[in-house]
Amino acid sequence: MSEFSLSKDRGLLTGQVASTEAAQDAEAVLVARCKAGDSLAFDELISAHQERVLNTAFRLMGDYDEALDLTQEVFLNCFRKINSFKGDSALSTWLYRITVNTAKNRWKYRKSRGLHRMTSLDGPMDAEDEARVKQFPDGQPTPPQVASDREAMASLEKFLHRLSEEYRVVMVLRYLEELSYEEIVEILGLSIGTVKSRIHRARHELREMMREHLA
C-alpha cells in the first residue's frame, strides 16, 4: 500500500473517530438537558429515537396498535427514569433495554388476563398494519434490496411470533435490529453464553417451524 493510501486511510479513521466522539458529546448534552427538565430536549430525544423504538416494539408485539401503546409507555418510562441514566452505555442501548422490559411487562399482563395472542402462520397480516410496516426502515438497505428485504422480513416476523418471548427478543435484537452480541448482553443483562445459546435454539426452532409449514 502506498504512503498516500496509508495517509488517506488514517484520515478516514481519524474522521470516523472524531464523528463518533462528536455524536457522543451531543448525546451527553441532550441527556443533561433532559435531566435539567428541558422539555424541548425530550422532544429532540423522542424525535431521534421514536422510529427505532416503534420498529422494535412492533417486531416484539406483532401488532401496530400494541406497538404504538408500548412506544408511548417506553418514552414515559424514559422521562421518569432519565436521572438514572449514567451514560455508561449508549442512549439507544438504554432505550432498547426499556423497550424490551416494557414488552415483557405487557406480555405478562396480557397472559394474566388471557389476552395472549398467537399469530397464525397461514393468516395474512392485517392490510392496514402491512401498509404501516412498509414505512418502517429496514436497516438502511440499498434501493434494489428494499422489496425483497421487506418480503423476507414479513415472512421471518410471522414465524418469530410463534417463538417464546425470550427467544423472540434475542432474534429481534440480533437479526432485525442487527445488534452485536455485546450490545444484546448489555441490554438483557445476560451472559454472552446465554445469549448465544438462546439464539442457537431459536434458530433451530424457526427452522423446524419452516420445515413443517412448507411440508
Percent of the chain with pLDDT over 70: 71
Rounded Cα distance, 131 and 59, in Å: 15
pLDDT for the residue numbered 129: 44
pLDDT at 17 over 80: no
pTM metric for this prediction:
0.74
Fold exhibited by the domain 3-214 = Rna Polymerase Sigma Factor; Chain: A (1.10.1740)
- Picking from 101-110, 114-123, 129-138, which range would have the lowest pLDDT averaged per residue? 129-138
pLDDT at 1 over 60: no
Say how many CA atoms lie within 13 Å of 24 toward its Cβ: 11
pLDDT for the residue numbered 159: 83
What average pLDDT does the segment 33-37 reach? 95
pLDDT for the residue numbered 88: 87
pLDDT at 44 over 90: yes
pLDDT for the residue numbered 143: 46
pLDDT at 120 over 50: no
pLDDT at 78 over 70: yes
pLDDT for the residue numbered 96: 97
**Scanning the structure block, which residue is given the C-alpha cell 429496514?**
138
- The model's pLDDT over 135-173, given as tens digits with 9 standing for 90+, comes to 444 444 444 555 555 666 666 777 888 899 999 999 999
pLDDT for the residue numbered 35: 95
What average pLDDT does the segment 75-87 reach? 94
pLDDT at 133 over 50: no
